[in-house]
Structure 1
Amino acid sequence: MEDDGELDTDCLNFAAALTNHATGGECILVRGNGQFGAPRCAEEAPPPAAIDQVLTEEVPEESDSDWELILTQIPGEVERAFLSLPIDGGTVSFDEELLGFGYINQHTNVFAEVEPQTFSESLLGIDVDIRAIPVNYRFDFGDGTSRSSLDPGGPTTLYLPEERDIPALDVETPTSHIYLDTGVYQVEVTTTFIGEYRLPGADWSPISGAVDIPATPGEADIWRPSHRHVSGACREARHWGCSGPVEIGPGDRPPKVFAEEYDSNGRHIGSQHP
């Protein structure tokens, strides 16, 4: 306000702007008798929301009906995911010291090495654990015969009556096989897996259906034992039974278990172990 009692225009404009900002409405100042009056507003702005109300607002969660719908869809999604999982079918194995070596008309031990496997998948926005469990093993022994077993088998030493560090030939096991002819046979195993799934914080639930997964095959090398009477210890390699543990014929190769004792021409060079 100026000294002569007249309102200063700049001051008036400033006060009007200040009042307008504070109320949020369109207001003018009423002047009377050289004094500022109360602002007269075209309309009043709604009061601002309390800050604690703003901070406590939450994003709406899925309704119970939405969650129930997801739960009805999860089993089907899990079944489809189970069929496409990269399940490891394991390997066909033999006793480590024999490497598939065996004799005709005797038990050759073969077994499957495969383990349960667990996978984590995101289905319908939910993290789901899926477990593949081996339950059945179909052995194809490569000679036209096959057999299914609930037991994957194991090393021969597991089935001997006494503890032995070295596996024995001709020991019957749940998965051993008797070959009737010599030769190298590719042995295959197909493992049947069933599944279970688990939602966060829940127990395991079964999955409908099953999946068959092949194992990495192995080779059974079957030979014929031969017996003769001899007069004494070997003196020359050309004598019978003196050319190594096996007799290599034309086109034959030594079995893996004795491979290091023969050169590329099939001549016995002796064990390379000290």
Structure 2
Amino acid sequence: MSFARRFIAAIALVGVCLLTLPVSASSASSAWASGNEEEGTIDAGIIWKFNPETGKSEPKAGTTPTVEDPNQYMADTHCRADGPDTKDPGCDALDCPPKTSGADEGTPVIWKEAPKAITNPGWTDWLPVSGPTCLYDTKPENVLANIAARILNDFRQLPINPGTLQAQPFPNTLKGGPTNFYTTPQQQTFDLTILGQNIHLTATPTNYTYNYGDGTTLGPTPQAGYPIPQTQWLTTNTRSSHTYTQTGNYPTTLTTTYTGTYSVNNGPPLPINGTLTLTTPPTTIHVWKTEIALVADTCDQNPKSWGCPQAKIG
């Protein structure tokens, strides 16, 4: 046989061999599952395996990784006896005895995963493993402690209403007379998801600081004040009232301090170690002066008489 014919035959033979290399998807899946079951690990990318018993990513045999596993993993503490919840019935049924004599028992956990590049990610169930598994050698991440470490920052990022500052009379009041200031406090609640857990947060107003705009303030004080009847506006001093000594226009504000509590997965309310302080936008109050004079006519008799609405000023 000539060289050219032998070369063509060799190419044909290679082509036949190439056609016989692929295997069915089901065979590949079975081989993959069998290999991982034997090793007790799960593939996590091309060159990484994640071991649920140790909570660590490990290079596959025969590989030399040049980059880290792109995923991060969290051992969800739902399965812990002192954890926030035990919704998965497998948590109670799963037994994690020591692997060797004298060793510690394993901890039932539910593994979550997320891309490592994301900070504070939304965790998803780690597949193909579903349900609780036993974690050995390392302790599961304490989700409750991690939530407690960040809850104050989350609290301060919430769109909490700073409240409103009310005045009587308003917008015009009188120099030398009491002006009643007050607010109507409201407790506010929010439902959040933090580290994969359901958080119910309550913000409660506890202290107030009144800034009357003329350089004087009241507070911090627990006094929210209260409205009074119009007949008492010029005669009654409340604990949050203020008397202006000069006429003018004054920007008034109210600063409210909020404390917070939060519960994890419908658990008991826990205090937030810190407060949130919010100030209302300025509200201008106009302070007028009063003058007294003797007049002979009423405004009905003489609408242009001194002090009547139709009288000329100046």
Do the two structures share a fold, i.e. TM-score over 0.5? yes
Q: CA deviation at 1:243?
A: 2.9
Is it true that 1:127 corresponds to 2:205 in the alignment?
no
Task: Pick one of 73, 85, 94 that aligns with 2:167.
Answer: 94
- Distance in 2, matches of 1:196 and 1:140, equals 28
In structure 1, the residue matched to 2:295 is 230
After superposition, the CA RMSD in angstroms is 2.7
Pick from 144, 157, 181 the counterpart of residue 246 of structure 2: 181
**Conserved 8 A contact 1:91-1:218:** no
Structure 1 residues 232 and 84: CA distance shift in structure 2, 3 A: same
CA distance in 2, matches of 1:210, 1:179: 32
The reply on whether 1:66 has 2:134 as its aligned counterpart is no
Q: TM-score, normalised by structure 1?
A: 0.60
Q: Which has the higher contact order (CA 8 A, sep 6+)?
A: 1
Deviates more, 1:148-157 or 1:116-125: 148-157
Residues 1:77 and 1:240: Cα distance change in structure 2 (over 3 Å): same
Q: Residue 91 of structure 1 aligns to a residue in which SS?
A: coil
- Output aligned runs, 1:1-274, within 5 Å: 59-61=130-132, 65-66=139-140, 69-95=142-168, 98-148=169-219, 149-157=221-229, 167-234=232-299, 235-243=301-309
Give the secondary-structure state (helix, strand or coil) at the position aligned to 2:140: helix
Write the distance in 2 (CA, Å) between the matches of 1:238 and 1:178: 31
The letter for the 2-side match of 1:215 is T
Are residues 73 and 183 of structure 1, via their aligned partners in 2, closer, same or farther at CA, if it must alter by over 3 Å?
same
Deviation of 1:182 (Å)? 1.2
Size of the alignment, in residue pairs? 183
Identity of aligned residues (%): 26
**Shift of residue 62, structure 1, vs aligned partner:** 6.3
CA distance in 1, matches of 2:159, 2:312: 42
Q: Which runs of 5+ in 2 are unaligned?
A: 1-92, 95-128
Contact (CA 8 Å) 1:116, 1:133: kept in 2 or not? yes
- Structure 1: runs of 5+ lacking an equivalent: 1-55, 158-164, 251-274
* Partner amino acid, structure 1, of 2:276: V
